[in-house]
């Protein structure tokens, strides 16, 4: 008998309330009209009022009174990896009232990491988070939200699990920094939600987000724009990063060449030879040389300190270059670009970032032929005759992203001998600027960036 009553009570409780208020949401207030409204007037972000989540999908609830106005503003996607489904009903308010759904109040920043399989790739984190800083700083989004909150209450990582960010101090510190202009007081953090939370909701439950802010990273920005909005903003960000870590922000580039390498990845097979050449050039031109090998898990402070001590950063293209935005004013980057690696304009990720600060020089040497690749097997070397345009499949890209590079030390030496004196004289970025080496047909050129085929 007791068991029977228990079961009855349980059934009554669950069917009357399909969604129990959880730690991150409350019950849907009866006053809301439920209609999804979209404000997509800005190129930098989109704000959704009453964005719905149900059964692994994000939905825009439209009814006869809002359909004509809102429908044309909806895109098939919310962000790079997340779709948005229009959901027409007759009367949104009546519909919502019957759901007894959950309510996530205030302002929620939806963050979609472009490559969820590589959460430790701090290069893509930089691409994702710098645009967030632009939007948080401009505060335009505050005109487009409903309700009383004047700051970011919640950050929702749409496609990542909490455990995927374990030990990534760089990501956590950057996240805190980019959100700072959107927080009510310094040091305050928003509620942080991950994919785990929505996954845990029952398939019959609904959740309405009062305001959802989606920042357009370069993958969804109408012009593919990346980097800081203005040099002033980028420079202020750099300063703040050092300040927050209680480090002295460097005011000028020291006479040090740093050879940056990723621990266990993006190998330069003749690194010793490269280092020897740098030492030779350094001796000749009065610069110290310092090898620096780092992992994405290294403390944010280490990344910052290493950049502050660098006047010229030499590195193979790779995620560790994400920290190049913290180089001192007047410093330079010489990036070694691998052969056949330019899908989705990847070769410019770090160029666009440093360029947006306005006071960091950025040069590159491009491996223009397969002789600069050390393939691991016969199997991989079948891509040796492909062109950069042809190399867009996941396999070809992975081969070239991970195969060891042979740096053309002689050519790189010539580049350095040409640019370092200009740097030492304090010439401006505009004065020293060089054309970015474009991936060309596989013609087996010399690899010089001025050797345009
Ligand atoms: C670099 O900036 C240009 C101009 O804004 C843009 O078209 C391109 O998509 C950007 N590429 C990357 C990788 O950020
Ligand atoms: C050769 O490459 C293909 C595709 O990348 C892969 O499926 C296969 O296992 C490779 N074979 C060997 C022997 O490495």
Helix axes 300-308, 169-179, angle to 10 degrees: 80
Q: Which of 337, 345, 350 has most ligand 1 atoms within 8 Å of its beta carbon, as the pocket-test mutant?
A: 345
Q: What is the pLDDT of residues 296-355, one digit of tens each?
A: 999 999 999 999 999 999 999 999 999 999 999 999 999 999 998 887 788 899 999 999
* Residue reference for tokens 């997340």: 82
Q: What is the pLDDT of residues 151-185, one digit of tens each?
A: 999 999 999 999 999 999 999 999 999 999 999 98
Ligand 2, atom 13, residue with closest C-alpha? 379
CA of 353 to the centre of ligand 1 (A): 9
CB 421 within 8 A of CB 286: no
CB 102 within 8 A of CB 22: yes
CA of 184 to the centre of ligand 1 (A): 32
Please give the number of the atom of ligand 1 that sits closest to the Cα of 127. Answer: 14
For residue 143, CA distances in Å to 61, 139, 147 come to 22, 8, 11
Q: Over 70: is that where the pLDDT of 446 sits?
A: no
Q: What is the pLDDT of residues 71-93, one digit of tens each?
A: 999 999 999 999 999 999 999 99
CA of 226 to the centre of ligand 1 (A): 6
Give the number of the ligand closest to the Cα of residue 346: 1
Q: How far apart are the first and last CA of the chain?
A: 87
Q: Which two tokens stand for residue 6?
A: 């228990």
Ligand 1, atom 7, residue with closest C-alpha? 224
CA of 224 to the centre of ligand 1 (A): 5
Please give the number of the atom of ligand 2 that sits closest to the Cα of 377. Answer: 14
Give the pLDDT score at 19. 57
Q: Into which CATH architecture does domain 231-439 fall?
A: 3-Layer(aba) Sandwich (3.40)
CA of 379 to the centre of ligand 2 (A): 6
Q: Is 352 in the pocket of ligand 1 (CB under 6 A)?
A: yes
CB 388 within 8 A of CB 453: no
CA of 346 to the centre of ligand 1 (A): 9
DSSP characters over 122-185: HHHHHHHHHHHHHHHHH-GGGGG--SS--S--EEEETT--GGGGTT-HHHHHHHHHHHGGGSSS
Q: Is 226 in the pocket of ligand 1 (CB under 6 A)?
A: yes
Give the pLDDT score at 226. 92
Q: Is 349 in the pocket of ligand 1 (CB under 6 A)?
A: yes
Ligand 2, atom 12, residue with closest C-alpha? 379
Give the number of the ligand closest to the Cα of residue 380: 2
CA of 389 to the centre of ligand 2 (A): 22
Ligand 2, atom 1, residue with closest C-alpha? 379
Please give the number of the atom of ligand 1 that sits closest to the Cα of 352. Answer: 1
Q: Which residues line ligand 2 (CB under 6 A)?
A: 377, 379, 395
Q: What is the pLDDT of residues 205-237, one digit of tens each?
A: 999 999 999 999 999 998 989 999 999 999 999
Give the pLDDT score at 363. 97
Please give the number of the atom of ligand 2 that sits closest to the Cα of 395. Answer: 5
Q: Is 45 in the pocket of ligand 1 (CB under 6 A)?
A: no
Q: Is 225 in the pocket of ligand 1 (CB under 6 A)?
A: yes
Q: Count the Cβ atoms, other than its own, within 10 Å of residue 201.
A: 19
- Structural domain spans, the chain: 11-215, 231-439
Ligand 2, atom 5, residue with closest C-alpha? 395
Mean pLDDT of the chain: 90
Ligand 1, atom 9, residue with closest C-alpha? 224
Q: Over 50: is that where the pLDDT of 264 sits?
A: yes
Give the pLDDT score at 440. 56
Helix (H) or strand (E) holding 440: none
Give the pLDDT score at 202. 86
């Amino acid at each position: 008998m007791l068991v029977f009553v228990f079961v009855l009570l349980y059934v009554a409780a669950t069917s009357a309330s399909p969604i129990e208020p959880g730690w991150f949401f409350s019950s849907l207030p009866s006053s809301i009209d439920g209609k999804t409204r979209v404000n997509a007037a800005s190129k930098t972000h989109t704000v959704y009022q009453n964005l719905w989540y149900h059964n692994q999908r994000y939905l825009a609830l439209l009814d006869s009174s809002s359909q004509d106005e809102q429908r044309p503003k909806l895109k098939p996607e919310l962000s790079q990896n997340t779709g948005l489904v229009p959901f027409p009903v007759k009367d949104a308010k009546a519909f919502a009232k019957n759901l007894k759904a959950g309510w996530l109040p205030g302002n929620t920043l939806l963050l979609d990491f472009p490559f969820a399989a590589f959460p430790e790739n701090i290069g893509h984190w930089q691409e994702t988070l710098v645009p967030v800083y632009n939007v948080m700083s401009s505060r335009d989004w505050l005109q487009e939200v409903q309700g009383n909150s004047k700051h970011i209450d919640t950050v929702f990582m749409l496609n990542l699990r909490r455990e995927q960010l374990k030990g990534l101090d760089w990501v956590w510190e950057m996240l805190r920094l980019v959100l700072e202009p959107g927080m009510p007081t310094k040091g305050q953090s928003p509620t942080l939600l991950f994919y785990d939370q929505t996954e845990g909701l029952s398939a019959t439950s609904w959740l309405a987000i009062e305001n959802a802010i989606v920042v357009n990273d370069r993958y969804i920005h109408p012009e593919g724009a990346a980097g800081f909005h203005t040099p002033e903003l980028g420079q202020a960000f750099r300063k703040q990063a050092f300040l927050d870590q209680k480090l002295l922000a460097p005011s000028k580039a020291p006479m040090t060449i740093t050879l940056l390498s990723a621990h266990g990845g993006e190998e330069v097979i003749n690194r010793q030879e490269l280092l020897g050449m740098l030492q030779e050039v350094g001796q000749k031109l009065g610069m110290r040389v310092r090898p620096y090998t780092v992992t994405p898990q290294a403390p944010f402070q280490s990344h910052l300190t290493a950049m502050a001590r660098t006047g010229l950063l030499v590195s193979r293209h790779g995620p560790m270059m994400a920290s190049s935005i913290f180089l001192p004013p007047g410093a330079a980057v010489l990036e070694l670009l691998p052969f056949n690696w330019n899908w989705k304009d990847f070769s410019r990720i770090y160029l666009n970032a440093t360029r947006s600060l306005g006071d960091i020089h950025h040069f590159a040497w491009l491996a223009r032929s397969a002789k600069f690749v050390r393939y691991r097997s016969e199997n991989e070397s079948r891509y040796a005759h492909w062109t950069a345009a042809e190399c867009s499949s996941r396999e070809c890209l992975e081969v070239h992203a991970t195969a060891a590079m042979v740096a053309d030390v002689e050519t790189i030496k010539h580049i350095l001998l040409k640019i370092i004196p200009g740097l030492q004289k304090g010439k401006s970025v505009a004065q020293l600027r060089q054309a970015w080496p474009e991936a060309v047909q596989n013609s087996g050129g010399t690899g010089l960036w001025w050797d345009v085929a």
